[in-house]
Structure formats: structure tokens, C-alpha cells
Structure 1
């Protein structure tokens, strides 16, 4: 990872949204049984959250993603071509249904299908 990528990741971590901060409090320190990193570089992208062990990318989408659905779909496809599984949640889902979001992440880590 280049020093420019490291600096960009640090900047993004310092500008976390409230939803990212909330979810991070439940992902950090292996609380779900897997190690996650915030704003992890996957050039040319930065994953909101990334678990290398499971090749799992978690993206939180807020109002800045409105009108960017095509780009987000393309980005997801690019990450999936690298072997990553991408879970996307809306910021409001983290605020209104945190346990449901965490359960979907737990199921993905455990390799269980969604119910």
C-alpha cells in the first residue's frame, strides 16, 4: 500500500459518518468473530469496512449515493470480480435496524444463507 493510499484511508476514517461510527463500534475488536478494517484500500476503491479473512466488503450508503446507483453497481461488480462479497446497507438501516444489519453480517461470516 502506498503512503498516498494510507493517508487517504486515514483522512476517510477521520470523516466517518454517524452510521459508520455506529457500525464500527460493533465490528471492531473481532466482536463478530472476524477482523474488520475501516476505509481499507482496495485500489482504486476504499471499502467502508473490509474483512480479509472472508473477503467481505461492507458499504454504507447515505444521501451522497443518490443518483450514483449505476456507479455503485459497477463498483460492486468490480469488487466481486476480485472474489469479494459486497454487502450494502443504507445509513438509515444502521440507525433503525442495527441488530438486523449485524445479523446479516454474522450470517455472511458464518457462511449461512440469509433467511
Structure 2
């Protein structure tokens, strides 16, 4: 059964209200334009997917990959669809968010930097 847009919007709203630990930690890095003035939004519906964080200006999606991301084929299909819509997807495992947040920040900065 394909989820409806109404269901996806409701689910995204619930996810914003009760983020998991590493999504909260990632949001602490991204919110209020703290990172290079980039405006990120969290738990947004794009097509039939809910993305963790998105900067629409740079068409950049940031995903905090916890244990629920145990299906690499599904993640790859999702990423391919999002790429076809013009988005770049960066995925960071929980351990990297926890222990090497400086690498996470550097990767996001590099992805949002103007391409020369």
C-alpha cells in the first residue's frame, strides 16, 4: 500500500515532535542557520519520502542513519529518486555524528560550497 501525502505529512509532523537522539544532535548543528547561514528544515516530505534535513536553496539533504537504515537497496533506490529530483544526499551514521561531528560539518560545508 502506497502512503498518502496526508499520511506522510502527519508522520513527518510526529517525527519533528519526537526526534530520535542523533536527529536531535544533528539538528543542534544545523538549526537557526548555525552552519554557514544555511537554512535547513527537518522531517520534510519530498515525493513519497520523508527526509531528515533539507536545505532547499542548495538542494541538499542530510540523513542521520541509525539502525532503521538496515536496507541498503531501499536507501539506494530512495537516494536515486531524490537525485533525479535534483537533490544531493549526504548520509551520516550515528557514530560519526556522535564522535566525529567536525567531519560531518566539513562534509556539509563542502557539499553546499559553490561549485567551480
Alignment TM-score, normalising by the size of structure 2: 0.88
Gaps spanning 5+ residues in structure 2: where? Answer: none
Which of 53, 73, 90 pairs up with 1:87?
90
CA RMSD of aligned residues (A): 1.6
* Deviations 1:55-107, CA, capped at 9 Å, x for gaps: 001111111212x0000001000000000000011011100101110111011
Following superposition, which runs of at least 4 residues in structure 1 exceed 3 angstroms of deviation? 2-6
Matched residues in 2 for 1:56 and 1:101: separation? Answer: 14
Gaps spanning 5+ residues in structure 1: where? Answer: none
> What's the CA shift for 1:10?
1.1
Alignment TM-score, normalising by the size of structure 1: 0.88
Which of 78, 81, 100 pairs up with 1:78?
81
Residue number in structure 1 paired with 2:56: 52
Which of 6, 21, 24 pairs up with 1:21?
24
